[in-house]
Structure 1
Amino acid sequence: MTTHIDSLDPATNEVLGRVPVLHPEEVRAATAQARTAARWWQDQGYPGRRRHLLAWRRQLARHAEELIDLLHRENGKPRADAALELLLSLEHIEWTAKNAHRVLRPTKRSPGLLTRNFSARVERLPFGVVGVIGPWNYPLYTPNGSIATALAAGNTVVFKPSEYTPLVARWYVDAFTRANPEAPPGILTLVTGDGQTGAALCGAGVDKLAFTGSTATGRKVMGACAEQLVPVVLELGGKDAAIVAADADLPAAADAIAFGAMGNAGQTCVGIERVYVERSVRDRFLAELDEVLRGVAPGIAYGPMTMPGQLDIVRRHVDDAIAAGAFTMLGGSDSIGTRYIEPVVLVDPPHTCAAIQEETFGPTVTVTTVESIDEAVRLANDLPYGLAAAVFSRRRAREIAQQLDTGQVSVNSVLGFAAIASLPLGGRGHSGFGRIHGPEGLQEFTRTRAIATQRFPIPGISLLSFRRPPWLDRLLPRLITWLHGR
């Protein structure tokens, strides 16, 4: 039985540290501790939770260099990208801490004509204990979107990070404890391990679970949670498309798409994997994209592949596209090394090939020539994924964006929605369901309770009584016609 996991630097295979593999009984104990702590956390109210979350934010910010260095070494991304990931994480902690009360406060509802003697309101309550299973590609930003939101809403959290980035997760969780020494254990708890540890969390008694990862693993998580009727938030794979219209600013579009496709070595669920460009500007767009990417070097602009097995998937997709007739504007099979992959641009592969149909998760992008925007929209929507998309157009951007069947759209940019803490994030279809971030994320981690209060009785006219007078029963059919039959 495995007892520990070594965390490796993906660029060198250096062992950075070791974490234990927690087994089901230990995961259940962590969940039980979180449930005990939940009462204290809820008793803090919104002002208290805001104070604790902002103290955590300051702790993370004041030790930023240490965390950035660890994120760089364990995940492999450049330090500048690690700093950006931390910055966006802090923005989201601040927004949720400061806005939770406004978003989740009780709301009044109209009682209607028949129950005019009642008042009505809806309260939003925390679930209790939320389980979070995080990914390795953005080991800080992505789980933070669920963790900070769930905490601000009044839940305690049990966090299981990827086995590829457990040290970043441990640092992040320990920072909460250091920032809030008066808090009891269990407000934010780390459970480390492999896939079996994640499966144990699904059945450990959590009240809701948020998972970020592949579509295939998401199905398993959903199935495991279904056995306990645990509701889930799933942020799964993407095959995000960018549409470049004939009236687009082509240099700007090429610059943004290059980053959206190759940033973080293409290991971004909301990154750009497909481009649809109108024929009249295709050659000019490709020339601009080529110019940008000629200056993008792996190991400098982006890091190694964090998960070694991903290299084989990228190689299969590239080989399949080339065999099917795609033109390699940049790179090819020889671009795929043992740790790093140079940028690959595949032009006009068949729509049926794996490089179009499956999530690649590497520094590659396909560029497909279309005759019209209608064709671009049809092809962009013709996959079961629906996470995010991008549109580049001076005059038609809003019109095009409204036709895309995705959870997020960036207009004349890529990934813009991820930087705006007030916007929700989530997908549809094979990209999952539920939302994190923004007001919708706060609501996602709460349940509703409806309160109907009788302010005063109406003698002889109570509809909800066995003592209803006969004349009132005779009046009901007339009342139906009067209220709803006209």
Structure 2
Amino acid sequence: MTDGTDRAAHGIEDIRAAVGRGRAAGRSWAALGARERRTALLRWKRALASRADEFAEVIAAETGKPVHDARSEVLLTLVHLDWAARNASRVLGRRRVRPGLLSVHQRALLAYRPLGVIGVIGPWNYPLYTPMGSIGYALAAGNAVVFKPSELTPGVGVLLARSFGEAVPDHADLLLTVTGPGSTGAALAGADGPAGVDKVAFTGSPGTARKVAAACAATLTPLLAECGGKDAVLVAADADLDAAADAIVWGAMSNAGQTCAGVERVYADASVHEALCARVVSRARALVPGDAYGPLTLPSQLGVVERHVKEALVDGGTAELGGPDGLRSRLPGPVVLSRVPEDSPAMTEETFGPVVVVNPVRDMDEAVERANASAYSLGAAVFTRSKAAGLALAERLHSGAVSVNSVLGFAAIPSLPFGGAGESGYGRIHGEEGLRAFAAPHSVTVRRFAPAVDLMSFATAREKAARAVELGRKLHARF
């Protein structure tokens, strides 16, 4: 069942059993110490690397994406698992912190402890890389994990749990997979009563995230939610248009546009808008669906993509390349739109297909304003030849991550946190924040000597204590 040998629809009792097994395994895992956990996780990483082709084939078979895309996904997974394993001790290990003048007689120590069992609900678009941003970091932080993969990609979750058990057999129950439809994920979050997990990490749509949040709220179970984006690219008048167009097409069309931080909106200075559109169209036209990218994995998504394109045209937008006629199969051709009104669904809702809108703006101030007007706040990109201007624009964007003169540059850097706000969810995976997301701060003080005036003792004369408090007040009033 939960060791990945069965793909049946698992219910609440199956999940509770898996959580119980994980909790028992987690106790011995936490007791190992950081060095031993690092060794075990790096052993698993090497096993995953040696089985990269096997994982890529399963990913490709379940999602439809080309094998070369799936292999890249496996590589990104390895990069993040390696970083989490090697940095957990540094980030989460005990360290001294300054106690301050008032508590100079105390030694202040801070460390992080595992939460226990983490429930991870994964998506189908990147069925290995995305959930491993939670799974790998949670394991490195000393937790056990119960993983519910998308019902569209159960084989990846099954293989992942099996590979862990084979690489780290003494701790096989640390990573257990439960499979099934959305109701299985809801049960893991606690919709059918407490499942016993200590935190849930969810990736999916904002609507589903709200349901998961409601289920978690019943037991005050913390939730980390990554819910997609409507990412914008800003192209300044001085930008390298060839580089920008190349990045835009890849960011918008790779994985058939099924990327939470993929490019969906472009705001180009009006002086270069026409030239940029021509370059984007030229590159997008050269793409061969089925080779450059695979089909839409979720059949119902085709209807969303078609509706966005049709309404964009009805609202006054222009089809620079493609259009509704090219969206009649799950392997749609690339679509490039321009001059689409900002209130059209293609500009306000996540399209999640091979569609990009390139709109002109007066200047970069207007571009920032439009980019920030979205309910989503996940990623963004800026193209300009001026590094100073690029950084200045990046600081003004409300998204959780920004790339300057590239797109999605942050996704391959494991030391950078990833996440957003608003409809993009909350919380962070990856990096130091990603490790701390699956750990609880543990504060310890050790009294080194008796203070001259002990404000935490009834034995201290009130007048003496009052003088000490007044002295402290005056110091803070002055400095």
TM-score for both structures, normalised by structure 2: 0.96
The structure-2 alpha-carbon separation of the partners of 1:458 and 1:387, relative to structure 1 and needing over 3 Å to count, comes to closer
Query: Gaps spanning 5+ residues in structure 1: where?
Result: 4-16
1:191 aligns with 2:157: no
Taking the TM superposition and a 5 Å limit, the aligned residue runs for 1:125-204 are 125-183=113-171, 185-203=172-190, 204=195
**d(CA) in 2 for partners of 1:372, 1:480:** 52
1:52 aligns with 2:40: yes
The Cα shift of 1:477 comes to: 5.0
The Cα shift of 1:351 comes to: 0.7
**d(CA) in 2 for partners of 1:18, 1:182:** 21
**d(CA) in 2 for partners of 1:344, 1:421:** 32
Of 247, 268, 273, the match for 1:256 = 247
The Cα shift of 1:444 comes to: 1.2
The Cα shift of 1:426 comes to: 0.5
Residue 145 of structure 1 aligns with an amino acid whose one-letter code is G
**d(CA) in 1 for partners of 2:431, 2:378:** 16
**Please, which moves more after superposition, 110-119 or 294-303?**
110-119
Per-residue displacement from partner, 1:184-228 (whole Å, max 9, x unpaired)?
x42001011111111111121111111011111111111111111
Percent identity at matched positions?
51
Per-residue displacement from partner, 1:367-422 (whole Å, max 9, x unpaired)?
11111111111111111110000111101211211111100111111111101111
For the residue of structure 1 that corresponds to 2:169, the secondary structure is coil
**d(CA) in 1 for partners of 2:180, 2:433:** 30
Partner residue, 1:293: 284
**d(CA) in 2 for partners of 1:18, 1:299:** 31
Residue 192 of structure 1 aligns with an amino acid whose one-letter code is T
**d(CA) in 2 for partners of 1:156, 1:481:** 47
**d(CA) in 2 for partners of 1:69, 1:116:** 59
Taking the TM superposition and a 5 Å limit, the aligned residue runs for 1:326-337 are 326-337=317-328
**d(CA) in 2 for partners of 1:172, 1:330:** 40
Partner residue, 2:315: 324
Taking the TM superposition and a 5 Å limit, the aligned residue runs for 1:275-424 are 275-395=266-386, 396-424=389-417
The structure-2 alpha-carbon separation of the partners of 1:252 and 1:157, relative to structure 1 and needing over 3 Å to count, comes to same
For the residue of structure 1 that corresponds to 2:360, the secondary structure is strand
Partner residue, 2:445: 452
**d(CA) in 1 for partners of 2:13, 2:473:** 61
Partner residue, 1:442: 435
The Cα shift of 1:18 comes to: 7.5
Query: Gaps spanning 5+ residues in structure 2: where?
Result: none
The Cα shift of 1:138 comes to: 0.2
The Cα shift of 1:336 comes to: 0.6
Partner residue, 2:208: 217
Partner residue, 1:124: 112
Partner residue, 2:458: 466
Residue 108 of structure 1 aligns with an amino acid whose one-letter code is R
**d(CA) in 2 for partners of 1:99, 1:56:** 16
Of 47, 64, 75, the match for 2:52 = 64
Residue 93 of structure 2 aligns with an amino acid whose one-letter code is R
The Cα shift of 1:458 comes to: 4.3
Contact 2:454 2:465 in 1 (8 A): no
Partner residue, 1:10: none
The Cα shift of 1:449 comes to: 1.3
TM-score for both structures, normalised by structure 1: 0.94
Of 82, 86, 110, the match for 1:98 = 86
**d(CA) in 1 for partners of 2:450, 2:443:** 20
**Please, which moves more after superposition, 331-340 or 131-140?**
331-340
Partner residue, 1:232: 223
Per-residue displacement from partner, 1:277-309 (whole Å, max 9, x unpaired)?
111111111111111111101111100110000
